Amino acid sequence: MGDPLQRHGVGGNVGFSRQQEHRLDIKQSVQTAFHGQKADQEVDQPPGEKVERGSQRHGGQRASQETEAEKRSNEQHRDQGDEGQRPGQCQPGIASLPTKKQHQSPVKDGADVSGAGDENRPSATGVCHATPIGSDFDVIDATPCHQCPHGMRRLVDERDEEAKRIHDDIGIGDEPQSHRYGGGHQENDEPVSLPRPTGSTSHVHGSLPSRLRPRQAKAMGAGACASGSPLRLAHGSFLTLGGAFSNIALMNAEQFLDALLSLPRLIGPEVSPDGRWVAWSWFGVGPAADIYVAPTDGSMPPIRLTETPEDTLLVSWTPDSQAVLVEQDRHGNERAQLFRVNLSRPGTMIPLTEPDPDYFLRGGQLHPNGRWLVYGANLDVASGLPIEPTWIYRHDLETGERRVLARPEKAAFCWPHLNYTGTHVLYPRRDRHPAGQQIWLVDIDGREDREILNFGPATKVFASWFPDGQRILFLAEMDDYRRVGVWEMKSETIRWLVDDPTRNIEDAFVPHRSRHAVIIEIDQARVRASLLDPETGEERRLPSIPGNLTPLAPASDGEWIGQYASARQPTDLVRFSLDEVNPESFTSLTRVWERTPLRPEDLAPAEDFRWTSVDGLPIQGWLYRTRGPAKGTIVYIHGGPTAHSQDHLNPQIQFFVSQGFHVLDPNYRGSTGFGLSFQEAIKEDGWGGREQEDIRTGIEALIAAGIAEPGKVGVTGTSYGGYSSWCAITHYPPELVAAAAPICGMTDLVVDYETTRPDLRPYSEEMMGGSPEQVPERYRERSPLHFVHQIKGKLLIVQGLQDPNVTPENVRAVQTALEQAGIAYELLTFEDEGHGIRRPQNQKTLYLRLAEFFERAFSSG
């Protein structure tokens, strides 16, 4: 479940995502998720993306000086512990799950907020039924410890100095120009002018500049070893990268993990309306996600537009292509504030909406008049109180007036989409049935709000605008497939473009300045794209290539901009010609390989692995093999469940492989990417049904193939992957599942239903066949909390304390059940995380802990 902001995807289409890691898994495998789902959040998951940051703050065109006040503030931050608490000190209240919230100071409209929110950002907080990190992790039973009335101990803070990263334009070891956007850049500062794209230089995709190669060993710091002698790893093992791996001969575990986390994870790319720029959010370049922009002609390296202590995500471009709208929440609580960032003033974030709202804000587009802002919010502006449904607003930025344009009746994820001419807003409703979705159209003054696309109360339809603002491209579900059509506003007629039951179309949109619609098919979890002329019906299919290429929009010179990724290729933005669709000819716009000492050879490839489930249904997954004898096998379960894992780089998986584990990433029934019938099959049983058998039979297939050993298999995953981990450890014997580490996973489906975001409740009703009142027994029998007495394996629970998706109440409820049953467990919480663990420092803590946890669990069996 979950993406950076929700359990679903977000894109230009109303109701579904654009095959981007943008609002998603949330977890490091790319997962394509539909609106209304619980998607995983580690964008790497992201996609297992999903999502990390890292290193020293550089980038941009102008250096600013650190003031004395900033120096004192920074020193205070460095010296400050987690709420001032000492390692091992017990926390009052519920020791394992602190609930204290930190709020951003209010900011008046128009004030500079480039450095807001940096104070008191806590680091990872861990609590467990074990001794603190650094000791032997001897797990004890669930009896209270004498030092703490709650039976918990706070783990030692694990803080790491920020490592230097490779600057955009210099070699490793050169001194980069210092640039700090985080504080002190005021509205009255000199504007920073961006150089205009010139087309003078470009970097060929996938290769490091030769001037960087000789100095790579220098970047490794203390871990570099020119002689080739083995280096001692933390925890008494050492990692050898050889054979199929690269020229980086030896690293210890933490160094390799640092290198993995230095690979930026890209989500939400959008090409500007004029085609000259592409913007995106990058995790892994700083302590939080930030916005970058690059010219589509490849003439300049990426330019950093924000540097913030909290995740900043791209929302949209302004119609004039001179600025982007971005959103930022607090510690992953998903209560976003919107800002404008002008390309001419990098680092200056102009607030457009209020900070720390008590409602959830969706979307955000600036009207062509530059005055009105259109978005959705579960807010009744008259009373100022949050409500269940999401209403559509037109916000006057000059007067502050918020006019309600549309009032859906029931809660649903609602991301409105303004047409390019500024006359109408397209948005989805789910008022008729939890499993359905209809498309509505309202004019910009809110005078006429009407339903325009309805193919049945329990049938979903998704839509987006043509650039002319007069036609709508839509994707409608049939019984077991989806078809593509055009709705004409003037005539109010429908014309079908693609109606083929053999094709699994999961996305369709028309970019700016394009006469072609982009059609995205997912065939056995692989992207297959084509360009369709809506007037003639002529369709040009892009050739199949290694990895996954998603066309985004044409560049200003007629070539195309696309998103490209694989298990050994970080998500990149590339230029390509339709006449030569080949990774060797791609031009990288992000120049991502310049930011890491790693090479593609250092990463494990994803192997297509197949097996048959209990009812004969074929199941696919991605298998990652470690070199040499394996310590065990980890099943990494993606979130959603309406999502899927692709051949995509996942740092968490790659780290597990480097530490001696095989990894299986299964696409169980309910996943997208295998046809609508396969996706809908999960509803036959509801959550916790045969999709869990798909995972179990995958483990059995690994054992039968001699890849996994009985008693040496563990499971983990975020969101729905966390729920599936709970299901596995509570229902399967330790010979099949010896250990589980659920991350932000539901434990009690009734508690989840009652405490999650309002727009996610209809999704639970769709998947479970009703609400807890309507089908109480199904909710009870599918809740792992009621079966914790059956646990025989090892258990590590991980939770972000600001999670509004799968809330900490799920952990509180299962803690009570575990202690009543006398089941030993470990608990690791993060006070500055929401749905998924995304901050690089926290990810480092988590990944190291997971690897050690599984190794201990397998060796103790």
Q: Which is higher by pLDDT, 501 or 228?
A: 501
Residue 621 has pLDDT above 80, yes or no: yes
Give the Cα separation of 40 and 5 in Å (integer). 10
Overall size of the chain counted in residues? 861
Residue 805 has pLDDT above 90, yes or no: yes
Q: Which is higher by pLDDT, 155 or 479?
A: 479
Cα 844 → chain centroid: 17
Residues 6+ apart with CB under 8 A from 781: 688
423-432: long-range contacts, CB 8 A cutoff, minimum separation 24 = 423/469, 424/469, 424/489, 425/374, 425/392, 426/14, 426/463, 426/464, 426/465, 426/472, 427/14, 427/376, 427/392, 428/14, 428/15, 428/35, 428/462, 428/463, 430/36, 430/762, 432/457, 432/458
User: Helix/strand/coil (H, E, C) string of 473-532?
Assistant: EEEEECCCCEEEEEEECCCCEEEEEECCCCCCEEEEECCCCCCCEEEEEEECCEEEEEEE
Q: Which is higher by pLDDT, 15 or 100?
A: 15
In this prediction, residue 556 carries a pLDDT of 74
Q: What is the pLDDT of residues 15-30, one digit of tens each?
A: 433 223 322 332 223 2
CATH, domain range 605-860: 3.40.50.1820
Residues 6+ apart with CB under 8 A from 242: 249, 627
CA neighbours within 13 Å on the CB side: how many for 703? 16
Residue 90 has pLDDT above 50, yes or no: no
Mean pLDDT of 789-802: 98
In this structure, the number of other CB atoms found within 10 A of the CB of residue 780 comes to 14
Q: What is the pLDDT of residues 430-480, one digit of tens each?
A: 999 999 999 999 999 999 999 999 999 999 999 999 999 999 999 999 989
Q: Which is higher by pLDDT, 509 or 102?
A: 509
Residue 525 has pLDDT above 80, yes or no: yes
As given in the structure block, the two tokens for residue 565 are 């990724």
Q: Where are the domains of the chain?
A: 213-259, 605-860
In this prediction, residue 251 carries a pLDDT of 82
Mean pLDDT of 266-274: 97
In this prediction, residue 860 carries a pLDDT of 79
Give the Cα separation of 838 and 628 in Å (integer). 30
Listed residue (444, 411, 443, 445) closest to 428, CA to CA: 411
pLDDT band at 83 (very low <50, low <70, confident <90, very high): very low
Residue 131 has pLDDT above 70, yes or no: no
Q: Which is higher by pLDDT, 69 or 423?
A: 423
Percentage of the chain surpassing pLDDT 90?
69
pLDDT band at 861 (very low <50, low <70, confident <90, very high): low
The pTM assigned to this predicted structure is: 0.76
Give the Cα separation of 857 and 739 in Å (integer). 6
Residue 217 has pLDDT above 90, yes or no: no
CA neighbours within 13 Å on the CB side: how many for 610? 6
Mean pLDDT of all residues belonging to the chain: 78
Residue 186 has pLDDT above 50, yes or no: no
Q: CA-CA distances (angstroms) from residue 788 to 246, 728, 729, 744, 748?
A: 44, 11, 8, 17, 11
Sign of the Cα pseudo-torsion (769, 770, 776, 781, in order): positive
Give the strands of the sheet with 265-271, arranged side by side.
265-271, 277-283, 290-295, 303-304
Backbone torsions φ then ψ of 580, nearest 5 degrees: -150, 75
Residue 95 has pLDDT above 50, yes or no: no
pLDDT band at 557 (very low <50, low <70, confident <90, very high): confident
pLDDT band at 126 (very low <50, low <70, confident <90, very high): very low
